[in-house]
Amino acid sequence: MSRKKIVAATGCPTGIAHTFMAAEALKIAAEQLGVDIKVETHGQVGIENALTDQDILEADGVIVAADKDVNTDRFHGKPLIEVPVAKGIRTPNELIQGIINGEAPVHQVKGRASGTEKTSAPSPSQQKSSNKWIHTIYKHLMNGVSHMLPFVVGGGVLIALSFLFGIYSADPQHETYHPFAAYLKNIGGLGFSLMVPILAAFIADSIAKRPGMVVGFIGGLLANDGGAGFLGGIIAGFAAGYIIVLLQFLLQKLPASLDGLKSIFIYPVIGIFLIGAVMTPLLVPITGLNNSLMDFLSAVQSTNPLLLGLIVGAMCGFDMGGPFNKAAYVTGTALLAEGNLYFMAGVSAACITPPLIIAIATTIFRKHFTPQERNAGAINYILGATHITEGAIPFAAKNPVVVLPIIMFGSAISAILTYLFGVQVPAPHGGFLVLPVVTGAFQWVLSILIGSLVGAILYGLYRKKIDKPAV
């Protein structure tokens, strides 16, 4: 009996850790279950180990573990299981077993005839339309976020570097003016200013492909120029995507000979007109809502740093790169664009803490960890120092009920202390690499180390308690 063949695609918003952790987990599970698998990864550097048409044709089923668009249209007619990337990390055996057992629903793309590919009966999972709808919306949003992040990080770090010459060194009228600082701030500001248009463009791209991207970019520019900010960009992205979907539906009976004209002329012209008509009257209320939200968060930050730090720390530590973590991080980048450098300091501290908790615990309580865990723990020093939270996931996954609260507690301590010290972090990523531009760098590192040490001791004591001496 020939071995089953499965193809898979993984992707996460940042494209740094979750993407490759899910790919590795699927490969290990496939080997254990005697299945051949090829995994395509959608990381920050682009698509690697790309699936060919022949790979897909020969596959008995497809697994998509992604929180971004990975072009599932090419899997038309194939049994397909689509889940968040976190599930690819935590339950790879279950996903592969679903393909083996013929439980995966057949993927159907509207407007395409069924091919001769292998099929299977729909499973009860098809009935979970509510969860699928929520994940679809989240996937569209995260596709925008994943493409936005390089602009935010690249532009934000350059702006932060300009502060090394002085806070006002980019101002020609100030005595500390330095031309190179002005250059850094101008170039970085240009990259940072594209945050909202890129966000909107790739939300729309996830919904309606290239025609949506064009309309989404214009909608994002309208939101950005109108002061609607990040919230306006999200609304513009979804509006643009579904405007194009509506146009595709209304124009589907046009002759096939006009398909090229639709993409290059009809969709852009009508789509840009309609997104302008939609966004123009919405700009005032969205801008008001956006400003109110930013003011509220700023007020909580100054009046109740304990509560804010608790919330931010818990969100960042709860799913470490997942939806809650991303919500806090994206809010931090949005506030950074508004000139608020305090909020991101707490978010960064809370994101750096989880891997450091693991690293310190495997160092202090080393005899209660396996050699493989100690090696992974040492790597977490590097991951934590560079703001890659996901290194803690394999440890948390072994007993999330106990380990996640410990990580959340440690992250909350780090965030609370950061807010109490009034630390300012002008860069949206980079971890300790951006220390030269951090205002209150010593206090920031101290806050992170205290939160990490507390979490590490709690986690280490837990491992000591469950560690059974060999007899």
Catalytic residues: 12
* CB neighbourhood size of 398 (10 A): 10
Nearest CA to 346 out of 408, 391, 301 is that of: 301
Q: Which of 386, 468, 397 is nearest to 427 (CA)?
A: 386
Phi, psi of 441 (to 5 degrees): -60, -45
DSSP designation for 226: T
* Amino acid identity at 165: F
Judge whether 390 and 88 are in contact, CB under 8 Å: no
Residue 173 CA to residue 306 CA, distance in Å, equals 39
CA distance 158 to 192: 10
For residue 420, count other CB atoms closer than 10 A to its CB.
14
CA dist., res. 312 & res. 235, Å (int): 24
Contact 315, 404 (CB under 8 A): no
- Any idea what the Cα angle at residue 176 is, between residues 170 and 179, rounded to 5°? 45
CA-wise closest residue to 191 among 157, 214, 163: 157
Number of helices followed by number of strands (H, E) in the chain: 17, 5
